[in-house]
Amino acid sequence: MEFRQELETGLLKPIGNTESTLKIKEVASKCRLLRTENGLKVDLTYTGPNASKYLQYVEKHREELTNYLLHPDDADLYEWMETSHQTPITLKKHEKEKLILYVNFDPDTMRLMTGIADENITMKLGTPLMDINLKEMTRNQFKLAIYDMLLLADEISIAMNNVELKKMANIEMVKTYLAEIYDRFHEGPLE
């Protein structure tokens, strides 16, 4: 956020867009699906501050919100698509690419990040699948994070119709490799 100092008062006033961008999860939590004679309708139940912004979001993203509310287990996929600025159409463009799951681990900071990359280990599609700090996780939390990440990768591969990525999302080696990193570098008690 940028600020401008007013000459008369010396106060700093924010300039530019001061509203935070709405996320699909936040908007969906204030909506419900209603069954009408024409099908399903997204109904915004929120009347608080910035209600007009929520309404604009609903109007612009009605189809995504409907799918999100119909399939709450796909929430991670919709959130990932939103943060990586992908749509079902842009994902389909990667159908024939040879894509892999990319793992980057820094033993100094204990940060582990996974994403989708091409054969040259060039990160694709912008947003990581998983970005965690091993120091802050128990073994069970870590196993759940791997599971969620592989589910997300699988959902992305299905949306892309990418056979290579689908193979990687189901591979046992990924889970084994990540578990070895946890065992080798985590100093806390293992659960």
For residue 50, give every residue at least 6 positions away whose Cβ sits within 8 Å of its Cβ, in sequence order, or none: 19
Strand-pair category, 31-36 with 130-133 = unpaired
Q: Quickly list DSSP for 77-130.
A: HHHHHHHTT--HHHHHTTTTS--EEEEEEETTTTEEEEEEE-TT--EESSS-SE
Residue 186 has pLDDT above 80, yes or no: no
User: Whole-angstrom distance between the N-terminal and C-terminal Cα of the chain?
Assistant: 42
Residue 190 has pLDDT above 50, yes or no: no
Residue 78 lies in a domain: no
Residue 145 lies in a domain: yes
Of 142, 126, 137, nearest in space to 178 by CA? 142
Instruction: Give yes or no: residues 38 and 109 share one domain.
Output: no
Chosen domain end from 70, 98, 121: 70
Residue 132 has pLDDT above 60, yes or no: yes
Instruction: Give yes or no: residues 41 and 105 share one domain.
Output: no
Instruction: Give yes or no: residues 8 and 51 share one domain.
Output: yes
Q: Residue 118: which pLDDT band, with cuts at 50, 70 and 90?
A: confident
Residue 94 lies in a domain: yes
Residue 183 has pLDDT above 80, yes or no: yes
* Averaged pLDDT, 160-187: 80
Residue 75 lies in a domain: no
Instruction: Give yes or no: residues 105 and 62 share one domain.
Output: no
Q: Which domain holds residue 176?
A: 90-185
**Residue at 11: amino acid letter:** L
Q: Calculate what percentage of the chain has a pLDDT beyond 70.
A: 86
Q: Calculate what percentage of the chain has a pLDDT beyond 90.
A: 4
Q: What is the CB neighbour count within 10 angstroms for residue 174?
A: 19
Count of domains forming the chain: 2
Instruction: Give yes or no: residues 66 and 124 share one domain.
Output: no
Residue 112 has pLDDT above 80, yes or no: yes
In this structure, what is the dihedral angle of CA atoms 8, 12, 13, 18, given to the nearest 10 degrees?
180
Instruction: Give yes or no: residues 108 and 158 share one domain.
Output: yes
Which two tokens mark 190? 């293992």
- Give, as one character, the DSSP assignment of residue 41: E
Instruction: Give yes or no: residues 109 and 142 share one domain.
Output: yes
- Give, as one character, the DSSP assignment of residue 131: E
Q: Residue 189: which pLDDT band, with cuts at 50, 70 and 90?
A: very low
10-55 confidence digits (pLDDT tens): 676 655 443 457 888 888 888 888 888 888 888 888 888 888 888 8
Residue 81 lies in a domain: no
- Give, as one character, the DSSP assignment of residue 38: T
66-95 confidence digits (pLDDT tens): 888 888 777 888 888 888 888 888 888 888
pTM: 0.67
